[in-house]
Amino acid sequence: MKKVLLLLANGFEAYEASVFTDVLGWNQLEGDGTTEVVTAGIRPQLQATWNFNVTPEKLVQDINLEEFDALAVPGGFEEAGFYEEAFSETFSEIIRHFDQHKKPIASICVASLALAHSGVLYGRKATTYSHPTSIRMTQLAEYGVRAATERIVVDEHIITSSNPGTAMDVAFLLLEMLTSKDNTEKVRDLMGVNMYQQNPGK
């Protein structure tokens, strides 16, 4: 069984978290059955960006990082306090642990800034929220990251992405890293994702 730690900061964007639970959950029941997601946070009650509370399964201080095979980090909004926890030393230590052990790390949108803040993206190629009106790409580069405007960037075992619209694809990339391309294509097909991508106007 491949255990994935879904690390939630207060102010996280619920959609960006749900793609990991859905894609990896579909794999658990309909794919090769090898993935399990565990949600964790610093506090026992988290508020998502928009108006509802989430109770993580575990507090980060109660988990053994050695038990996990991959890390997933959704982004969030500054206005909702996301960076206060995402930039905490607790988060940074967890991120560094997965990097040191070369375990997959998947981040969506501005969650890559938490990775950069921890130091794991220094000298690496990565992306973050890249809309022309945003300051986030500049912030990413200030951490010594080779900032790229691509939709999704994979550098070794680390996935970063440029906006919430990439979320489902990031989750599938993580699934492929943990299982196989054939298994991932099977889950995509069962979820109807391939069908939509092939016929986006229907």
| Structural tokens at position 84 | 């206060």
Residues 87-95, mean pLDDT to the nearest whole number? 98
pTM of the model: 0.95
The 3-state secondary structure of 117-181 reads: HHCCCCCCEECCCCCCCCCHHHHHHHCCCEECCCCEEEECCEEEECCHHHHHHHHHHHHHHHCCH
Confidence bin at 51 (pLDDT 50/70/90): confident
Residue 160: φ, ψ to 5°:
-130, 155
The class (CATH top level) of 2-198 is alpha beta
Q: Residue 134: CB partners within 8 Å, gap ≥ 6?
A: none
Statement: residue 169 has pLDDT above 70: yes
Structure letter (DSSP) for residue 32: -
Between the CA of residue 123 and those of 103, 139, 144, what are the distances in Å? 18, 14, 6
Q: List CB contacts of 100: < 8 A, sequence separation 6 or more.
A: none
Query: How would you classify the pairing of strands 70-73 and 2-8?
Result: parallel
Statement: residue 129 has pLDDT above 80: yes
Q: Can you read off the two tokens belonging to residue 95?
A: 């991120």
- pLDDT above 90 covers what percent of the chain? 94
pLDDT tier at 185, thresholds 50, 70, 90: very high
Q: Write down the domain spans for the chain.
A: 2-198
Q: Which residues contact 112 (CB under 8 A, 6 or more apart)?
A: 75, 121, 126, 127, 128, 140, 160, 161
Please, what is the average pLDDT of the chain? 95
Task: Provide the pLDDT for residue 198.
Answer: 47
Tokens of 85: 């926890």
pLDDT of 196: 44
